Structure 1
Amino acid sequence: MDNLYKGPEIKPGYLGKGTIVYEPISPLSLTQRLGRLRYACYQFCSSLIAILLMALSWVVSASPAVPAWLGYLVTGVVALLAIVYLTGLMVRRLHDIERSGWWTLLVLVPGINLPFQLYLYLADGSSMMNRYGTPNPPPGALVKVFGGLFWVWNVLVLTFLTALVFLQWWQPDWIAGALERLPLGSIPRLPVGQQYH
């Protein structure tokens, strides 16, 4: 028997006249689109969970009753799952910008990986439907707070690192001079020519 009080089912998509029915957001999906703040928020949460799980495995494996290889195994599995999930987040972010997920391979290219990650944080996603689905619904308060803070932190760090890499490439003498002006002991010297026993 049909429920008379239930409205008609509306599938996610563009209904015309600027109206979009958003598809429900799933943090574990590897196929949906992902806006900038949700991308930063999901990265922060997944990285924090992975770090806590790895730290817990190290603490537990320090016990004499637990074999050391078990700690290494748990750490490896958590790290692998984190890499897969973070790669999926990048694919979803690229879908929001109307780019193919294959662009994630740019993370493996030295010299391009930092500007590419900065691009993922700064690029504006399409506000309407694209070939990858509907945009995200407006973010909630927690996504705005945690995603916003992590977004600002990552943009600042990636901008600094990108500038440092390009300065080292184009002006290595300038970087060497700046490092020499630092106070003694702030940068540890590498022991060259010493043998370790």
Structure 2
Amino acid sequence: MTGNDYYDAPSLRPGYQGRGTIVYEPLSALSLTQRLGRLRFACYQLTSYLIAGLLVLLMLLLSRSLIPELAAMAGAAVIMLALTVYLVGLMVRRFHDMGKSGWWAVLGLVPVLNLAVMLYLYLGDGDSMVNRFGTPNPPPGILVILAGGLYWLFNVLSLIVTAVLLVVAWQYPEQLEGFMQSVPYEMPTGRW
């Protein structure tokens, strides 16, 4: 107890407190040491894509009137680089949730292998109790359940379809080429 205040609650450190009680760590969107559950992983991804998309759109709109087009393209490249670094950080936290080293996130940068890594991150089960990377996330709120759940479902289905198309393109390239030639396609003309 501090001072003369006898009504202060004892300070609890995050972690397992015994008898099924866990004190959760406060969540930080930029931490590389915490854990990240499936739904929060999807929700943080969706939020970062929306913010980055809006910033890139702002850069492109400004390039039409206020700033040179080259500066807008450089600004958009910086935004995309920052987005990539942030998304790798989210992957690190998701691996931490499953009790694995965050270095596994490097595999997510390898083309084709990244499909399997992302499916694993979306479908893999996190540790339900405290692991070496800290406490699990607190139960998600309704916004995380709705936005994260819908985005999770969209991503899982997209990854499965992409993997199937890659296998078909690898195993049956002639049939896929014949199908692609039958699809009508018209090249857009002019500038947006």
Distance verdict in 2 for CA 1:76–1:3, change over 3 Å: farther
Secondary structure at the counterpart of residue 22 of structure 2: strand
Aligned to 2:27: 25
Q: CA deviation at 1:188?
A: 5.2
| Paired position in structure 1 for 2:52 | 50
Structure 1 spans left out of the alignment, 5+ residues: 190-197
Q: 1:29 to 1:178 in 2, by over 3 A?
A: same
Q: 1:25 to 1:172 in 2, by over 3 A?
A: same
How far residue 119 of structure 1 moved from its aligned partner, in angstroms, is 0.9
| Residue identity in the other structure for 1:84 | V
Task: Give secondary structure in 1 for the equivalent of 2:34.
Answer: coil
Residue ranges of structure 2 left out of the alignment (5+ in a row): 188-192
Cα 1:173–1:45 shift into 2, 3 Å: same
- Counting only pairs closer than 5 Å after superposition, residues 153-192 of structure 1 correspond to structure 2 as 153-180=154-181, 182=182, 184-185=183-184, 187=185
Distance change in 2, residues 1:120/1:2 (3 Å): farther
Among the aligned pairs, what percent are the same residue? 51
Q: How far apart in 2 are the matches of 1:150 and 1:38? A: 10
Which position in structure 2 is the counterpart of 1:98?
99
Shift of 1:173: 3.3
Q: Secondary structure at the match of 2:130?
A: coil
Equivalent position SS for 1:15: strand
For each residue in 1:94-133, what CA deviation from the matched residue of structure 2 results, as whole angstroms up to 9, or x when unmatched?
Answer: 1001111111121232332111111110001010011111
Which amino acid is the alignment partner of residue 156 of structure 2?
V
Distance across 1 between alignment mates of 2:9 and 2:138:
21
Output the amino acid matched with 2:84: I
Higher mean alpha-carbon deviation, 24-33 vs 129-138, is at 24-33
User: For the residues of structure 1 that align with 2:17 and 2:119, how far apart are their CA atoms?
Assistant: 33
Distance verdict in 2 for CA 1:87–1:122, change over 3 Å: same
Corresponding residue number in structure 2 for 1:192: none
The two structures have a TM-score, normalised by structure 2, of: 0.89
- State whether structure 2 residue 74 is matched by structure 1 residue 66: no
Calculate the TM-score normalised by the size of structure 1.
Answer: 0.87
